[in-house]
Structure 1
Amino acid sequence: MKLYIPINGNPMKAFLLMLGGLFTGYLIAFALIFFAAKLNAPFGEILFHQAPVTAEYVRWMFVLSTPLTFGFPVLWVARTYKPGQGLSFLQINKPTTGGIVLFALLAMVLGQGFISLLGEWNSHLVLPQSLAGLEQWMKSSEKQASDTMNLVMQTHSYGVLLLNILLMAFLPGIFEELLFRGVIQNLMIDSLRRVHIAVWITAFVFAFIHMEFYSFLPRLALGLLLGYLAVWSRSLWPSIIVHVVNNAMVVLMTFSAYNKVISPDIEKSMEHIDPVYGVVSLAAALWMLFLVKQLSDRKETTQ
């Protein structure tokens, strides 16, 4: 007996199913977290705001929430949207090449100057006086998210560093790409028949859902890079690899700065980017993306 009902390639039904999967995954994750809180008194005290948040608590939240919240909608849509073709729809059964991955990673690295420039512009966001309350909430939310991530990433232990890379690079890198580029972007393309619009909408949703508005533009740029990598490489693997490496770099940079392997002020040095350098960085990243497309086109024609 099948536990799912095929929806035969209807993008709108697939979107509704995806939302249902998100909600179901979130409920299951919350139930597991609540159950863990009942079994573990310190965990429960943090959950019910009776004790300060700890790094271990945040890591458990990652473990329990990320695979379920993002994995459920991916599984449901892949099984029902095009029955028997789920892996092909997600583009994870399509191999890539070392050259494509290399140019994809170079696009990410060379584009850091432009992303830093966007971050500088984004940090100066000021809302009208009538929205002062919203602006205060945005700043408070951003600081809380930053403090939480620093709490998790600031450690002297190499074992904890490896655990952080697993939880904060591999888990989101894989599951977020499966959802955003594998499901949402491909459904957008099937629905709108406009690749560029689909990539931009998906990148916007990707940036918005993180709820960190003073880093919205850098995350939008990352979403665009990941989106075009998925489209032009014809495989989800370059996007997954770049996402994982990007997150791992943040974890490693924070660890290195905290342990004074590199200057703790290195982030401040990136707060003032010469616009010319930013434009050159953008041009270099776009050139690498063009090379990804060229290699993929050549690979496609030789098969």
Structure 2
Amino acid sequence: MFKSASVERNPFSSLILLLLLIFAGAVVFTGIAFAIGISVYGAETMFQLSAGNMSNLDLIKLVQIISSIGMFVIPALIYAKLQNKDWLGYLKIIPVPAYLALLTVVIMFSASPALEYTMQLNKGMKLPFFLKEVEAWMLQQELKMELMTKRLIMMNSIPALLVNLIMLAIIPAFGEELIFRGGFQQIFARWFGNYHVAIWLTAIIFSS
């Protein structure tokens, strides 16, 4: 069992602790994912994945799920447990009033046109001539990611649908909220003494 701190650390120490936990979680759980992958699919397949071969989608999903849990969910829970006795309250894991949930859904749908417009602006962005090689590389990477995303979300069974929901919706939503809102945002709020600054700074980091 972890021994919870009765008094919160200073913001800088908390930030360093959280970053170390994220790094350690990413390393350890990626190692676990690779160990499981080797035992299930063989060492050769794992080496091919490390070299950039993305043909085995099941293996990619396995690594993605395990590494995401290790990088976001586990570090946030350990950090909160070390940081405060009321770790659930610290992470803001509390019931949400129905009207706030409804308001969130309305805002999300209302913001869709603006988000789509922003995406179109991003696609049409042109870098200066001297950065044309960088622009070509960025476009190539975007196309690769788009192709990989399309392959990952293709499904022909209920189990495949459930795996995709876990990988693309549940773990990212839950884990990233824990680490950013429950972790970084709390640190910045104590650091700057202003929740508005903390929210905006966390949002900038989250979207980068």
Structure-2-length-normalised TM-score: 0.88
Q: Pick the aligned partner of 2:50 from 22, 30, 48.
A: 48
Structure 2 counterpart SS, 1:76: helix
Contact 1:6 1:79 in 2 (8 A): no
**What letter corresponds to residue 32 of structure 1 in structure 2?**
I
After TM superposition, the structure 1 = structure 2 runs for residues 231-242 of structure 1, keeping only pairs within 5 Å, are none
Q: Call closer, same or farther: CA 1:151–1:89 in 2, change over 3 Å.
A: same
Structural RMSD (CA):
2.2
Query: Which residues of 2 match residues 105-254 of structure 1 at below 5 A?
Result: 105-208=105-208
2:80 is matched with which residue?
Answer: 78
**What residue in structure 2 maps to residue 36 of structure 1?**
36
The count of aligned residue pairs is 206
How far off its partner does 1:50 sit?
Answer: 7.5
In structure 2, the CA distance between the partners of 1:97 and 1:127, relative to structure 1 (3 Å rule), is: same
Distance 2:90 2:176 in 1: 16
Q: Aligned to 1:111, what secondary structure does the other structure show? A: helix
Mapped partners of 1:57, 1:32: distance in 2: 13
Which residue number corresponds to residue 69 of structure 2?
67
Mark the CA change 1:192 to 1:60 in structure 2 (over 3 Å): closer, same or farther: same
Overall identity of the aligned pairs, in %: 23
Amino acid at match of 2:145: A
Alpha-carbon deviation of 1:175?
Answer: 0.4
Q: Secondary structure at the match of 1:95?
A: coil
Alpha-carbon distance between aligned partners in 1 of 2:52 and 2:144, rounded to the nearest angstrom = 17
The question of whether the paired residues in 2 share the 8 Å contact of 1:54 and 1:151 is answered with: no
Alpha-carbon shift at residue 45 of structure 1 (Å): 4.3
CA distance in 1, matches of 2:126, 2:101: 38
Aligned residue for 1:127, secondary structure, equals coil
Runs of 4+ in structure 1 displaced over 3 angstroms? Answer: 1-7
Note if contact 1:7-1:14 (Cα within 8 Å) is conserved in structure 2.
no
Match of 2:90 in 1: 89
Alpha-carbon contact 1:24-1:72 (below 8 Å) kept: no
- 1:54 CA displacement: 2.5
* 1:100/1:146 CA distance change after superposition, 3 Å: same
| Residue-by-residue CA offset, 1:16-50 (whole Å, 9 max, x unaligned) | 00110111001112211331343222642432338
Moved more, 100-109 or 6-15: 6-15
Q: Distance in 2 between matches of 1:105 and 1:50?
A: 38
* CA apart distance, 1:203: 1.4
Q: Is the 8 A contact 2:30 2:63 kept in 1?
A: no
1:121-148 Cα deviation digits (max 9, x unpaired): 1112222233333323322222222221
Using the alignment, how far apart are the partners of 1:164 and 1:54 within structure 2?
15
Deviation at 1:101?
A: 0.7
Unaligned runs of 5+ in 2: none
Single out whichever of 136-145 and 47-56 deviates more from structure 2: 47-56
Give the TM-score of the pair, scaled to structure 1.
Answer: 0.62
Residue 13 (structure 1) aligns with:
13
The structural deviation recorded for 1:4 is: 6.9
